[in-house]
Amino acid sequence: MKIDVTSFDGQAAGSIELSDEVFGLEPRADLIHRMIRWQLAKRRAGTHAVKNRAEIARTGKKMYKQKGTGGARHGSARVPQFRGGGRAFGPQVRSHEHDLTKKVRALALKHALSAKAKDGGIIVWETAELDAPKTKVLASGFAKTGLANAIIIVGGDVQNNFALAARNIPQIDVLPVEGVNVYDIIRREKLVLTRAAVDALEARLK
């Protein structure tokens, strides 16, 4: 698959051939869904917790006599039936992670990249660099090309000037190629790759 290479402000900079093994698959929604579910489950804190009846600070004295009240028999005020009592079967601190094999994760990334390529949502830049950390310069370049909602993947380390300029623009994410992930690719309209990022992805996923 051949695609044009441009600069961030839309100036032509040649073309590049994208590998069909990485960008040319028929997208599978089930794999992409499994990967996003795994990612979101993995990042959950799992710190939700309630107090059960054993953790409630209350007297252990019997509430009232066993017989003769005409009401139900109760022995503790800590039970869930009473206001201020413990919670029955409430959430406890735990991990929400579940297993997903490396092969499935790699395949899901290929299918996410292929889904973007199929929808025409991939843009390739020569580089992602600026001479000065000016948000106005970057925003004007994005306005020329109609880029409003995108994730930008950079080969190697993200240039500091570019990162500083981009962080004030809403709905624009900038990541090094090591941080590329299915969830961020799918949730943004456009996927912007530098030429170096394309080479790194193809070397990693082929």
Which domains can be identified in the chain, with CATH numbers?
2-44+99-205 (3.40.1370.10), 47-93 (no CATH)
Q: Which residue has the higher pLDDT, 134 or 10?
A: 134
What average pLDDT score do residues 69-83 get?
Answer: 93
Position 89 pLDDT exceeds 90? yes
**pLDDT band, residue 10 (cuts 50/70/90):** confident
What average pLDDT score do residues 158-174 get?
Answer: 94
Q: What is the pLDDT of residue 174?
A: 95
What average pLDDT score do residues 119-129 get?
Answer: 92
Distance CA 204, CA 206 (A): 6
Give the contacts of 74 (CB within 8 A, at least 6 positions apart): 62, 63, 64, 81
Please measure the distance between the N-terminal and C-terminal CA atoms of the chain and give it in whole angstroms. 15
Position 162 pLDDT exceeds 90? yes
Q: What is the pLDDT of residue 13?
A: 83
Q: What is the pLDDT of residue 29?
A: 96
Question: What are the angstrom distances between the C-alpha of 185 and each of 20, 31, 94, 136, 182?
Answer: 18, 14, 28, 25, 5
What is the DSSP code string of 15-59? EEEPPHHHH-S---HHHHHHHHHHHHHHT---------GGG----
Give the contacts of 79 (CB within 8 A, at least 6 positions apart): 53, 85, 86
Position 33 pLDDT exceeds 90? yes
Phi, psi of 176 (to 5 degrees): -70, 160
Count the alpha carbons within 13 Å of 93 in the hemisphere toward its beta carbon: 2
Sheet of 122-125, strand order: 12-17, 2-6, 122-125, 190-194, 150-154, 172-176
Position 1 pLDDT exceeds 90? no
Distance CA 62, CA 85 (A): 14
What average pLDDT score do residues 3-28 get?
Answer: 90
Q: Quote the distance between the C-alpha of residue 91 and its chain's center.
A: 24
Other Cβ atoms less than 10 A from the Cβ of 183: the count is 17
Q: Are 152 and 184 in contact (CB under 8 A)?
A: no
Distance CA 158, CA 190 (A): 18
What average pLDDT score do residues 24-51 get?
Answer: 96
Q: What is the pLDDT of residue 103?
A: 96
**3-state SS class at 107:** helix
Other Cβ atoms less than 10 A from the Cβ of 91: the count is 11
**pLDDT band, residue 158 (cuts 50/70/90):** very high
